[in-house]
Amino acid sequence: MATQPYKAGIIGTGFIGPVHLEALRRLGVEVTALCDVGDRAQTVARQLGIPRAFSDYRELVTAPDVEVVHITAPNRFHRSMALAALEAGRHVVCEKPLALNTRETAAIVRVARRADTVFAVNYNVRFYPAVLELRHRVARGELGDLMHVNGSYFQDWLFHDTDYNWRLLPEEGGRLRAVADIGTHWMDTVSFILGAPIRSVLADLGIHHQTRRRPLGETQTFRRANRRQRYASYRVETEDFAHVLLAFANGTRGSLAVSQVAAGRKNCLRLELYGSKQSAAWDSEHPEILRFGQREGANQVAVRNTPAFGRGAAGFMDYPAGHVEGFPDTFKMLFRAVYADIAHGVSKSPLYATAEDGHREVAVCEAILKSHRRGAWVNVAG
Ligand SMILES: NC(=O)c1ccc[n+]([C@@H]2O[C@H](COP(=O)([O-])OP(=O)(O)OC[C@H]3O[C@@H](n4cnc5c(N)ncnc54)[C@H](O)[C@@H]3O)[C@@H](O)[C@H]2O)c1
């Protein structure tokens, strides 16, 4: 589907901002403006061929040639940027997590509900064809009753005590780190597949590096420090890894392991669904493949965009089988769904995560923290 030539602006040009830009360009959306701190926006705009650059997000959200605002700045800015964009009457695509806590996310939900515009949270994992296919099969009862769902989201980019990023600081990333940053992707994805939110949790959080060393000067996500780097020590308050037992509203039980210190795992989201008829498994580092398990029959390996894979992701695959669609393609597909709603009006049940979905994930994070502190099951508020 072709998108209208909408005009978008992007706030934050670090790791994920350029991923948004690339996906928007693939869809034919014109990115007219960037915003970042100091003169960074000017430099990046020049490098990437963007006409306008701002150092204050309030100027970008009110610019007449910005109809859709993409928020790709660190978490602590999401609330004020999202509210400013909504108040300026703009459509918004906000990165996850929606904000630092449920007080902030509830404020965004209130304003987004009143607004006559589209608001999406960028839980992009929903748009892997394998995830859409699993959702389709679960809805059709092909797996039977879902007994339990298990999985993990593992990375290793914060493995060393010298690995540094704003996410390590609660005031910048939020009180939870690994769980909020990547665990919410897994939980959002599984709730999306099951069509059921998480109702309660029992959690255990771990900090491997109680003290870390922070490089002096600025750093960016996934960048490595150089050898002559100088450091300052600081006490770590956010979790490196976590284990969470989950109870979903439809009765399915689950378990999730999250880690940002798992050597060798670069960006690995795995999930396994165990139903009364068969099981299904998927691994984001091999995104083209779905595995189905049978008690009696032969287990199956289904390759994306083949008859064995199914038609549940029809319309969300642009390339034939064997031509891998991965991480950047999920952004393109999510934005395509968002821009279609901008053009034609918000769908009744959008496939992308809404402000309510983003709020719900932050509420689950708060229940996880409470559960870890109490050593007991905690219900998710709301
Ligand atoms: N959906 C995904 O897969 C995914 C992946 C990575 C990051 N993210 C999310 O995207 C957001 C950004 O993460 P990142 O990894 O790109 O971080 P980053 O640190 O690499 O980039 C953030 C950028 O925002 C800029 N910035 C900081 N304060 C600003 C302000 N007040 N105004 C404008 N720009 C400002 C920084 O200078 C930097 O260029 C986070 O919320 C993160 O959780 C999502």
Mapping DSSP onto H, E and C, the string for the chain reads: CCCCCCEEEEECCCCCHHHHHHHHHHHCCEEEEEECCCCHHHHHHHHHCCCEEECCHHHHHHCCCCCEEEECCCHHHHHHHHHHHHHCCCEEEECCCCCCCHHHHHHHHHHHHHCCCCEEECCHHHHCHHHHHHHHHHHCCCCCCEEEEEEEEECCCCCCCCCCCHHHCHHHHCCCCHHHHHHHHHHHHHHHHHCCCEEEEEEEEECCCCEEEEECCCCCCCCCCCCCCCEEEEECCCCCEEEEEEEECCCCEEEEEEECCCCCCCCEEEEEEEECCCEEEEECCCCCEEEEECCCCCCEEEECCCCCCCCCCCCCCCCCCCCCCCHHHHHHHHHHHHHHHHHHCCCCCCCCECHHHHHHHHHHHHHHHHHHHHCCCEECCC
Q: How far away, in angstroms, is 339 Cα from ligand 1 center?
A: 22
Does position 3 have pLDDT exceeding 60, yes or no? no
Q: How far away, in angstroms, is 74 Cα from ligand 1 center?
A: 4
Spatial strand order in the sheet of 30-35: 52-54, 30-35, 7-11, 68-71, 91-94, 119-121
Instruction: Look at ligand 1, atom 7, and give the residue with the nearest C-alpha.
Output: 16
- Tell me what the mean pLDDT of segment 122-134 comes to: 98
- Tell me what the mean pLDDT of segment 180-189 comes to: 98
Query: pLDDT-derived band of residue 228, with 50, 70 and 90 as boundaries?
Result: confident
Percent of the chain with pLDDT over 90: 94
Tell me which residue of 122, 127, 105 sits closest to 68, measured CA to CA. Answer: 122
Query: pLDDT-derived band of residue 100, with 50, 70 and 90 as boundaries?
Result: very high
Q: How far away, in angstroms, is 218 Cα from ligand 1 center?
A: 13
Query: pLDDT-derived band of residue 187, with 50, 70 and 90 as boundaries?
Result: very high
Pocket test of ligand 1: the residue of 16, 47, 260 to mutate, having most ligand atoms within 8 Å of its CB, is 16
pTM value is 0.96
Exposure of 151 in the CB half-sphere (CA atoms within 13 A): 25
The separation between the first and the last C-alpha atoms of the chain, rounded to the nearest angstrom, is 37
- Tell me what the mean pLDDT of segment 310-339 comes to: 98
pLDDT digits (tens, 9 = 90+) for 193-202: 999 999 999 9
pLDDT digits (tens, 9 = 90+) for 56-71: 999 999 999 999 999 9
Give me the pLDDT at residue 230, please. 87
Does the beta carbon of 95 sit less than 6 angstroms from any atom of ligand 1? yes
**The two structure tokens encoding residue 290:** 């779905």
Give me the pLDDT at residue 366, please. 98
pLDDT digits (tens, 9 = 90+) for 346-355: 999 999 999 9
Does position 361 have pLDDT exceeding 90, yes or no? yes
Q: How far away, in angstroms, is 303 Cα from ligand 1 center?
A: 33
Give me the pLDDT at residue 216, please. 86
For the structural domain made of 7-123, what CATH number should be given? 3.40.50.720
Does position 7 have pLDDT exceeding 80, yes or no? yes
Domain boundaries, the chain: 7-123, 125-326+359-374
pLDDT digits (tens, 9 = 90+) for 250-268: 999 999 999 999 999 999 9
- Tell me what the mean pLDDT of segment 90-98 comes to: 98
**Over the chain, what is the mean pLDDT?**
96
Residues 79 and 353: their CA atoms lie apart, in Å, by 16
For the structural domain made of 125-326+359-374, what CATH number should be given? 3.30.360.10
Give me the pLDDT at residue 222, please. 63
**The two structure tokens encoding residue 100:** 């630092």
Does position 145 have pLDDT exceeding 90, yes or no? yes
Give me the pLDDT at residue 138, please. 98
Does the beta carbon of 164 sit less than 6 angstroms from any atom of ligand 1? no
Q: How far away, in angstroms, is 36 Cα from ligand 1 center?
A: 10
pLDDT digits (tens, 9 = 90+) for 14-30: 999 999 999 999 999 99
Ligand 1 nearest-atom number relative to CA 331: 1
Residues 134 and 382: their CA atoms lie apart, in Å, by 27
Pocket test of ligand 1: the residue of 21, 22, 35, 37 to mutate, having most ligand atoms within 8 Å of its CB, is 37
